[in-house]
Structure 1
Amino acid sequence: MFILLNTYTAPLDRIDELLPEHRAWVHKHFAAGDFFIGGRREPRTGGFVIAFGDDKAAIEDILAQDPLVGYGVVEWHIEQVEVQLSGNEAIRDALAEHNTPTEVPQP
């Protein structure tokens, strides 16, 4: 899995103009099963995605298709992680469906 953080490199009014294209790209990758969760960072300096997979090059290819990248108004940072624990059964089930089994944290 990957934690993906983006940082805006343009004023928010320019980002807001481009968000419909970016959101269409995001929805496409949720529908394809590439992305697990995502959202806005606070303060509003960018966003984040938790992505399935173990192939960093594939993630880089996906991020290169982000319209915000094409417009040069965002930078993405990629961190590969190994999920080991989840206290939420629905999340554990979702992760298991993507070959990322987790354990229940023990006290």
Structure 2
Amino acid sequence: MYIVILNLTDKKADAPAHMADHNAWIAQGFEDGVFLVVGSLKPQGGGAILAVAEDITDLEARVAADPFVSKGIATPHIQQIAPARTDARLSFLKDVA
């Protein structure tokens, strides 16, 4: 499992022009079963994604295809997590790749 942090760059003013494509990219991530949670970072802006992937290389390629990343609007940081303990409501996460 991975956490992807998308930090906005000095090109964040360009985000509205690419928001529809970014949202389509997010929708595809959910459709493909890769994204579990997506949300905005508050209050600074940017975003966070909880994702599953067989291989970090596959996830890196997916993240690079995000229009916000490819247009330089956001810089990604990907961190792997190995869940060992969860609240009972999230116990399924221990079984996620």
User: TM-score when scaled to structure 1?
Assistant: 0.79
Change (3 A) 1:71 1:12: closer
Q: CA RMSD in A?
A: 1.9
1:92 aligns with 2:88: no
CA distance in 2, matches of 1:54, 1:80: 12
Q: CA deviation at 1:37?
A: 0.4
Q: CA deviation at 1:40?
A: 0.2
Aligned 1:54-73 pairs, distance under 5 A:
54-73=54-73
Structure scoring higher RCO (CA < 8 A, sep ≥ 6) equals 2
The gaps in structure 1 that reach 5 residues or longer are: 102-107
CA distance in 2, matches of 1:73, 1:100: 30
Q: Which moved more, 1:12-21 or 1:53-62?
A: 12-21
Structure with bigger gyration radius = 1
State how many pairs are aligned. 97
